[in-house]
Amino acid sequence: MYPGGARNIGIKNATNSLLAFLDTSTHPSNDWLSNGLEIIENGNYAGVWGRTYYEANLFISRIFRACTYGEKPIKTFPGSILHKDVFKNCGLFIESTRAGEDADFMSRVELHNMNITNSENFLKYDKLDRMSFKEVIKKWYRNYFHTAKMPYFRPHKDIYFYGVSLLAIISAYNWNRIVDPTGIENELFVPNITKISILLIILTYLYLRGIYLPLKKGSNLKTIFPFNFIIISFLSAILDLTKILAFAKSKFNNK
């Protein structure tokens, strides 16, 4: 049974009006539940969303974290405490998918403008230190293969980047032939334009994936510099390509 189906059984059989959710490899603090209940009661909220901090104590797991989740706690369904009426208004979880059902449910809750706030506490996810890069790739492929089927998900961002990059290289390769068909160099002729274009694309990716996004997600400078941003960018590129393959496979299977 997939996670959505298992959660639905618990939701249907629960007799309490408040439901709290945890997940494997996520560990709450001692006051997670009491703190969440206090927030709900004092603010008259329909619930609180969970937050998860991804622990990483080894060099390679810190690189994984910089490529993916980041060092800041992120909003997650695990750790959430919700009134049962939320499910009556927004529906239950999709049961036919291995991943993405939680984000799909959270998007439906937002569409219904339910009065749910964010938690002050966070869970700790401790599995990154025990995962190899091969396992990370397999998890990425599996999750995005299933997530791409979700109605809320729009798998375009990475495809756009690689698509635009490929178009830029093709355009650059043919630029001088178009503007200089006679072979006589004019003011629009650009020497080494293909090499320059490829270099600019690589530098842009290095900056975005190796520096900008890790910093935005909370990674410190020591994790990124002096040379780790190159490793982060390289592993991120593998994960992005894995994601695109998962999107394409999911699209092909739906036909």
Residue 183: band (very low, low, confident or very high) from pLDDT cuts 50, 70, 90: low
What is the C-alpha to C-alpha distance for residues 97 and 82, in angstroms, rounded to an integer? 22
Question: pLDDT higher for 177 or 76?
Answer: 76
pLDDT of residue 106: 94
pLDDT of residue 223: 92
What is the C-alpha to C-alpha distance for residues 165 and 82, in angstroms, rounded to an integer? 44
Residue 159: band (very low, low, confident or very high) from pLDDT cuts 50, 70, 90: low
pLDDT of residue 252: 72
pLDDT of residue 186: 67
Q: What is the largest CA-CA distance in the chain?
A: 82
In the chain, where the domains are located = 3-130, 157-253
Task: Give the β-pairing of 47-54 and 123-125.
Answer: parallel
Q: State yes or no: pLDDT of 182 exceeds 80.
A: no
pLDDT of residue 58: 94
Neighbouring residues of 58: CB distance < 8 A, sequence distance ≥ 6: 129
Return the exposure string of 54-79: e unless at least 16 CB atoms fall within 10 Å of the residue's CB, then b.
bbbeeebbbbbbbbbbbbebbebbbb
Residue 234: band (very low, low, confident or very high) from pLDDT cuts 50, 70, 90: very high
Q: State yes or no: pLDDT of 99 exceeds 80.
A: yes
Task: Give the β-pairing of 116-118 and 18-20.
Answer: unpaired
pLDDT of residue 90: 94
pLDDT of residue 225: 93
Instruction: Measure CA 219 to chain center.
Output: 16
pLDDT above 90 coverage of the chain, percent: 66
Q: State yes or no: pLDDT of 164 exceeds 80.
A: no
* The CA-based dihedral angle spanning residues 103, 106, 107, 110, taken in that order and rounded to the nearest 10 degrees: -160
What is the Rg, in whole angstroms, of the alpha carbon atoms belonging to the chain?
Answer: 23
Q: State yes or no: pLDDT of 232 exceeds 80.
A: yes
DSSP result, 131-156? --HHHHHHHHHHHHHHHTTSTT--TT
pLDDT of residue 191: 78
208: tokens are 């975005």
pLDDT of residue 19: 96
Residue 21: band (very low, low, confident or very high) from pLDDT cuts 50, 70, 90: very high
Amino acid letter, 50: G
Mean of the per-residue pLDDT values of the chain: 88
C-alpha dist (Å) from residue 15 to 10, 11, 19, 47: 10, 9, 9, 17
pLDDT in tens, 135-158: 999 999 998 888 877 776 665 556
Looking at domain 3-130, its CATH superfamily turns out to be: Spore Coat Polysaccharide Biosynthesis Protein SpsA; Chain A (3.90.550.10)
Residue 160: band (very low, low, confident or very high) from pLDDT cuts 50, 70, 90: low
Q: What share of the chain is helix, strand, coil (3-state, %, to 5)?
A: 55, 10, 30
What is the C-alpha to C-alpha distance for residues 29 and 122, in angstroms, rounded to an integer? 7
Q: Which of 21, 19, 8 is nearest to 83 (CA)?
A: 19
What is the C-alpha to C-alpha distance for residues 93 and 6, in angstroms, rounded to an integer? 9
Neighbours of 203 (CB within 10 A): 10
